[in-house]
Amino acid sequence: MTIWIAMLLGLVQGLTEFLPVSSSGHLLLLQKMFGVTEGAMFFTMMLHLATLVAVIIVYWDMILELIKHPFQKTVGMLVLATVPTLIIAVLFKKVEPFASFYTATENGSFLGIGFLITSALLFLSDLLRSKSKTGRKMKEMRVTDALLIGTMQGVAILPSVSRSGGTIAGALFSGLNRKAAADFSFLMSIPAIIGGALVEVPETLKAGIGDVHWTTIVAGMLVAGITGYFAVKIMIAAIKKKKLLGFVIYTAVLGCLVLVDQYVTHYFF
């Protein structure tokens, strides 16, 4: 992997981690296009950690408030939402036939379908909430809201199903207002990224970094962190202004193109 490819992957990771288009799906697609295999798992994990820093910076004041008052309702909702995410993650990683299905998705077998699922979720969330100018705030969340959003995040473990898209859609389905949907989704990403990295550590260490140099990894991480910061800002503004249609169209077109390549042209799959 050259430093330029690493920076390109970092750029894509930073933008797509928080935009509702699926970072894992885009990284998998680009790795297929550039033939990246050596150290891919380790490099991907490091890019996720870089974007973790970005969201922490954006939400630092809110995170600090949650740390200072750990027994408030929002903390409880975040913990509760993590439960279905963990259950689904364990199913996909350890329990058959879910584990075999997940392995197939990691190889890109359902990449196009995943992008189309993301598009459908975003379209439905905008459609169902378009006539509603108000919604509940984060402090007004119910147990069922947290469980639904956590379930959506769990499903998004599948490549090309967007985590931010799924959780924001789940929040809007639940009746939260758009600011609450964005804030809760991004706050949820923190334990999700940390947990995902911890789970992947043994397998990642086993796979190793191959011939990827540390300067290449650091370059990719820097680009991912910087672009991730701006992606969070862009996404918050887009949700508030109800401008998700562009993401709906983009993921739908990309999904169709991937399906054409998977079943007809076979350039990358």
* Cβ pair 160, 110 in contact under 8 A: yes
Supply the mean pLDDT for the chain: 85
pTM metric for this prediction: 0.84
Say whether pLDDT at 61 is over 90: yes
pLDDT tens-digit map of 33-54: 777 665 567 777 888 889 899 9
* Cβ pair 183, 138 in contact under 8 A: yes
Q: Which domain covers residue 195, as residue numbers?
A: 3-265
CA atoms within 13 A on the CB side of 193: 26
* Cβ pair 90, 231 in contact under 8 A: no
Say whether pLDDT at 78 is over 90: yes
What pLDDT score does 209 carry? 62
Alpha-carbon distance values, 22 to 77, 140, 143, 162 (Å): 24, 28, 26, 4
User: Which among 4-18, 33-47, 76-90 has the top mean pLDDT?
Assistant: 76-90
* Pick from 137, 234, 144, 229: nearest CA to 181: 137
Domains identified in the chain, total number: 1
